[in-house]
Structure 1
Amino acid sequence: MTLTLEYVQSKSAAKLSGLLPVVRAATEALITRCFYRGVPIVITQGLRTIAEQNNLYAQGRTQAALNKVGLANVKAKPSEPKVTNARGGYSNHNFGVAIDFALLMPDGKNVSWDTKRDGDGDRQADWAEVVEEAKKLGFVWGGDWVSFKDTPHFEMTFGLTTAQYRAGKRPTQAQIDAAFKKINETEGDNAMTPDEKAAFAALEKKVAVLEKNAKMAAIPTWAAAACENAKKAGLLDTTADGSYDFYRMVTIMDRAGLFKKGA
C-alpha cells in the first residue's frame, strides 16, 4: 500500500493522548519529519499508568524481588524478558514526557525494531534518521544511556527527575515556551534534500522539452489542483499553455508531495 502522512499519523494518534502538550507537539513533528525523510514511524508507547509500569517491571523478576520493593500485589513474570528497571512512578512515561517508537513497514501494519534497516535506500539506517530528527526537536535518546540502553525511547524531561515529578513539580512556562520555539524553528527542515533538488531539476528539464512538443489550450480539470499547489510553492511561475505530459508530470509530483516539501 502507499502510505500517506495522514495514515501514518493515525497509527500513533491513540498513544499521543495524555502527553504533556509540548511533548505531544514535538512527537507530532517527529512523525511528520520522519515521514518526509522516507521513514514512517509509529509511536508504541506514550503515557503509561502506574499499574502498567508495575506490570512491565514484573517481567523478568521473581515475586520475592517484587515484594522487596513494595509490589507484593503485582504478579511476577520471571519467565519473561526484563524490559525496564523502573517501577511505577519511576519512569518518565508515567508523567507524559516520554515516548517509544518503532519503524512502520510498507504494508502499514507491521513494525520493526531493526536499527540497521535502510528502507528508503539512502545508505543511512532508518533508525539513525529518526534519532537525528528527534534530537533536533529537543528529545533525549535512550540509546545514549550507559547503564541501560533503551533504543526505542525518547524523552523530554526539562531537567526534572522522576522524584520531582512524583512530588508534583512540573516544567516552568519559560521551559515550555523554549521547547515550543525549538520545535517551530526546525519545522522548515522538511525542504527537499540536495538529491531531491537534483531530481527535481532533472524533471524540470524534461518538462521544458515536453512543453515545446505540444501545448494544450486550457489546463485539464484533473490537473488544476496540482498546478495551483506548484504555483503556491513557488516552483512554477505559470502553468498555462502546457502539454498533456506536462500536466501529467505536475500531477504526479504533487501526489508525491514534492510541492509540499519544497514549500
Structure 2
Amino acid sequence: MTVALRTLLNRSVKKMGKGMDQVVKESALEMVERAYNEGIYVQISAGHRSFEEQAVLYGQGRVYSYNGKDYSNLAKPKVTNAKPGQSYHNFGLAIDFFLVSDDGKNAIWTMNAKWQRVAAIGKEL
C-alpha cells in the first residue's frame, strides 16, 4: 500500500516543530505535495532548531561548550559548521528532507535523481 499524502504532511509538520517561518513552512508542505503528485515520497526531517539543539549538533566531532555547558561529542562525526545562531534552522528558515519508501516505512537517505527533483521543487518555491 502506498503511503498517504496526509501521513507525509503530518509527519513533516511534527518534524518542523514550532518556530517555523510561516512562508517556509507552507512552501515545505507544498514541496512534499508536489513531489507526491510526481510519485516521489518525501518528508521533512528537521525544521526549527533551538540554539541548544544546534549546540548539540555543532558539538559532534569536536570539543565545544556553549553557555557554560559542554556539548563535546568526539564519538560522532561532524555534521555542521554552524554554531548556535549561525544556522537558518535557528530562525525557522530552513528545512531538511529525505525520501521515503513507497509504503512510508523506510527513510531513504540517497541523493539520487528523485532527491534532486525534490530539491528543484523546493528551489522553485
Shorter-chain TM-score above 0.5: yes
Residue 113 (1) aligns with residue 103 (2): no
Determine the C-alpha separation between the residues in 1 that align with 2:59 and 2:105: 29
Amino acid at match of 1:27: A
Q: Which residue does 2:123 correspond to in 1? A: 135
Amino acid at match of 1:84: T
Amino acid at match of 1:23: V
| Percentage of identical aligned residues | 38
* Segments of 4+ moved more than 3 angstroms: none
Amino acid at match of 1:10: N
Determine the C-alpha separation between the residues in 1 that align with 2:115 and 2:90: 25
Determine the C-alpha separation between the residues in 1 that align with 2:29 and 2:105: 19
Q: Which residue does 1:236 correspond to in 2? A: none
Amino acid at match of 1:3: V
Q: Select the structure that is richer in strand.
A: 2
Amino acid at match of 1:136: E
Determine the C-alpha separation between the residues in 2 that align with 1:74 and 1:57: 11
TM superposition score normalised by structure 1? 0.45
Deviations 1:113-155 (A, max 9, x none): 1012xxxxxxxx1011101111111xxxxxxxxxxxxxxxxxx
Residue 104 (1) aligns with residue 100 (2): yes
Shift of 1:71: 5.4
- Figure out how many residues of one structure are paired with residues of the other and give that number: 124
Q: Per chain length, whose mean CA-contact separation is higher, i.e. which structure has more relative contact order (CA < 8 Å, sep 6+)?
A: 2
Residue 18 (1) aligns with residue 19 (2): yes
Unaligned runs of 5+ in 2: none
Preserved CA contact (<8 Å) 1:55 1:74: no
Determine the C-alpha separation between the residues in 2 that align with 1:71 and 1:13: 29
Preserved CA contact (<8 Å) 1:30 1:133: yes
Q: Which residue does 1:74 correspond to in 2? A: 70
Larger radius of gyration: 1
Shift of 1:10: 1.7
Q: Which residue does 1:48 correspond to in 2? A: 49
Unaligned runs of 5+ in 1: 117-124, 138-263
TM superposition score normalised by structure 2? 0.91
